[in-house]
Amino acid sequence: MNDKKNTLNKQKLNKELKIQLLVFIVTLLLTVLAFVAVASEKFAPTFIAPFIVTLAVVQVIFQLYYFMHLKDKGNKEISIFLYGGLLIGVLTVIACLFIVWL
């Protein structure tokens, strides 16, 4: 019984390690992609800025979800605070943009 439980636990940890490694590689590729986009000088600055911001948002989502373990159960309070802060930040940026444009 104990050996079966240990085997299941090892399989779960092995799967988690593979996912963590895959997400780490994806975040590295997103970073390299951003550097290549800027260094190549083949793209217009009006394309590069939103492209890099989009890559950064994707990276933040990956890192919060996987590396900060927000995908695991029991992190509801932490998720509420993080998403609440994100909402306040987005609303602040939108408000500042409207103030500047008006």
pLDDT at 34: 92
H/E/C letters for each residue in the chain?
CHHHHHHHHHHHHHHHHHHHHHHHHHHHHHHHHHHHHHHHCCCCHHHHHHHHHHHHHHHHHHHHHHHCCCCCCCCHHHHHHHHHHHHHHHHHHHHHHHHHHC
CA atoms of 65 and 26, how far apart (whole Å):
13
Name the pLDDT band for 100 (thresholds 50, 70, 90).
confident
pLDDT given for residue 19 in this prediction: 85
Arithmetic mean of pLDDT, 6-32: 86
Q: What angle do CA 41, 45, 46 make, to 5 degrees?
A: 145
Q: Please state whether the predicted TM-score (pTM) of the whole model is above 0.75.
A: no
Max mean pLDDT range (52-56, 58-62, 63-67): 52-56
- Output 100 or 5, whichever has higher pLDDT: 100
19-39 mean pLDDT: 91
* pLDDT reading at 68 higher than 80: no
